[in-house]
Amino acid sequence: MDRHGASWGSTLALAYALEHPTRVHGAALVAVTTSSRKEIEWITEDIGWVFPEEWARFVEESHAQPGERVIDAYARRLSGPDREDARRAALSWDRWETTHVSVDRAWVPSPLFDDEAQRMTFALLVTRYWANDGFLSCGNEILPRIRELSGIPGHLIHGRRDISGSAATAWQLHQKWNTSGLIVIESEGHGPPLNHSTHPS
């Protein structure tokens, strides 16, 4: 079986390969992520240094309680009983998603999701997983285990302009995965290639 994935899909493909290495013949990963705590803190906290105005709004609209992480606040509200509050949280989350992919040359100003049900489902799933480090903590983190995939071919493709998920993640995986290859595409970001689509993924 070949495993492939983009962005969150690359995390899933890697997690599957680590759990079932004998079932995987190779992996092709684009916009590589591992859903580590460091990556999650980057995309929900530290990236505010790049988008300070939008991040300030993102934090304010999170309604985070004292000491509560922004990601935890959104996860709490999106899964809470007040569905109108969840709807507002999903709108704020959608705005933030379209902000941090905006340096991608394929990006066009638009909501990530026009359909409310899709928007709320996406935001609920993302925040649920990210609030729990992708359910990959306690010894199940991907990067510390990646050497277990030695012998399985890995093809890592990442955009240099991908500010949502740093190329450092793909590079670190490649350094520890001796049967992997890494291609960094200088002109690409986190979205699809320019000649394929103009909508963020």
Q: What is the pLDDT of residue 51?
A: 93
Distance separating alpha carbons of residues 2 and 17, to the nearest angstrom: 9
CA dihedral 26, 160, 101, 170 (to 10 degrees): 30
Report the pLDDT averaged over residues 125-154: 95
Token duo for residue 99: 């902000």
**pLDDT(177) > 70:** yes
* pLDDT tens readout for residues 48-77: 999 999 999 999 999 999 999 999 999 999
Residue 110 pLDDT level (bands cut at 50, 70, 90): low
Instruction: Specify the DSSP element, H or E, that contains 131.
Output: helix 116-131
* Percent of the chain topping pLDDT 70: 89
- Order of strands, sheet of 2-7, starting from the edge strand that comes earlier in the sequence: 2-7, 26-32, 154-159, 180-185
Distance separating alpha carbons of residues 119 and 87, to the nearest angstrom: 9
**pLDDT(201) > 60:** no
Report the pLDDT averaged over residues 177-201: 70
Give the global pTM: 0.87
- Cβ neighbours of residue 49 under 8 Å, at least 6 residues apart? none
Estimate to the nearest angstrom the gap between the alpha carbon of 167 and the chain centroid: 12
**CB distance 152 to 17 below 8 Å:** yes
Q: What is the pLDDT of residue 138?
A: 86
**pLDDT(2) > 70:** no
Residue 111 pLDDT level (bands cut at 50, 70, 90): confident
Domains of the chain: 1-36+136-201 (3.40.50.1820), 37-134 (no CATH)
Token duo for residue 61: 């609209």
Token duo for residue 87: 């709807």
